[in-house]
Amino acid sequence: MTEVSIPSNEQIADVRAFTRFYTRQIGLLEERLHKSAFSLTEARVLYELAHRNGLTATDLGRDLGLDAGYLSRLLKKFESRGFVTRAPSATDARQSVLSITEAGRKAFELLDQASREEVAGLLGRLSAEHREAVVAAMQKLRRLLGQSREPATPYILRPLQVGDIGWIVHRQGVLYAREYGWDESYEALAAEILAGFVKSFDPEYENAWIAEREGEVVGSVFLMRKSAEVAKLRLLYVEPSARGLGIGRRLVDECIAFARAKGYKTLTLWTNDVLVSARRIYQAAGFQLTGEERHHSFGKDLVGQTWDLAL
């Protein structure tokens, strides 16, 4: 479960600054939306009527968070313009079912086309890469704020790609500093390990797995050859936003399966006892603690641990 905390003043200010910026970008400060005859709320009601059947005023008010009196006046205005009709509900005599008319649909289509053109113009100023980044960020924002369902596939595993190494070093440095207070020497160690992996990579006996969620790297693990009989599992990590999806265990399972397929006799790893979640994954996968030693690294007094799995 994600820990709930009080947002900082800086975070609140950033969100408010974004909303001011975005409302200006898409013209929400104008009295009429997309230079049409409709306000933002009127356009939103038309959208719902054009896309949903069997709606009642109660449905609209609840789903859009509109005051009942205001919505009633708006619907009467639409009726007078021939955009909406009402019919008695077959299941509730107290309710009327709303239906958009042909005139209402034509009005909506003109509005919808204007909106499409405006957004196309906004995105058209960006490179293809930046467009993808903007859309991915918006999808993530909707999901995190509870306005979009979780993706059908919560994450995928893929091979290492250009750009992953630098990102993983950066994120591990940031996360371990934030969660355990480790200093920049850990980031340097991660960079050294991964630079060595790339320089001497042997695809026959080594591998890397990258967990990706909605276009973002959310976890990774590396399997490196130590000897003909021993492989090393290194730098397992999962982003806080993706924890609870089973990514850590899945990454470890992939390492184990690969090591067995390649004929290794032992899969070994080195970690620190403060990494409790990771140690639980290793124990559940069958690793045995084979050694411990105290050391001072990354600005902290730590207990290093070696874990081995007989394959």
The answer to whether 58 and 95 have CB atoms below 8 angstroms apart is: yes
What is the distance between the alpha carbons of residues 225 and 203, in angstroms, rounded to a whole number? Answer: 10
Is 153 or 225 the better-scoring residue by pLDDT?
225
Q: Give me the pLDDT at residue 6, please.
A: 82
Q: pTM above the 0.85 mark?
A: no
Residue 81 has a CB neighbour count (10 Å cut-off) of 13
Q: Do domains 9-125 and 156-310 have the same CATH topology?
A: no
What is the distance between the alpha carbons of residues 218 and 203, in angstroms, rounded to a whole number? Answer: 23
The H-assigned helical ranges of the chain are: 9-25, 40-51, 57-64, 68-80, 102-124, 128-144, 164-180, 184-199, 247-261, 276-284
What number is the average pLDDT over the span 136-161?
A: 76
Instruction: Dump pLDDT digits (tens) for 22-67.
Output: 777 666 545 556 566 778 888 888 888 888 888 888 888 888 888 8
The backbone torsions φ and ψ at residue 214, rounded to the nearest 5 degrees and listed phi first, read: 50, 45
Domain 156-310 has what CATH class?
A: alpha beta
Instruction: Dump pLDDT digits (tens) for 200-249.
Output: 999 999 999 999 987 789 999 999 999 999 999 999 999 988 888 899 99
Residue 172 has a CB neighbour count (10 Å cut-off) of 21
Instruction: Dump pLDDT digits (tens) for 251-310.
Output: 999 999 999 999 999 999 999 999 999 999 999 999 999 999 999 999 999 999 999 999
- What are the residue ranges spanned by the domains of the chain? 9-125, 156-310
What number is the average pLDDT over the span 175-198?
A: 96
> What is the second-level CATH architecture of the domain 9-125?
Orthogonal Bundle (1.10)
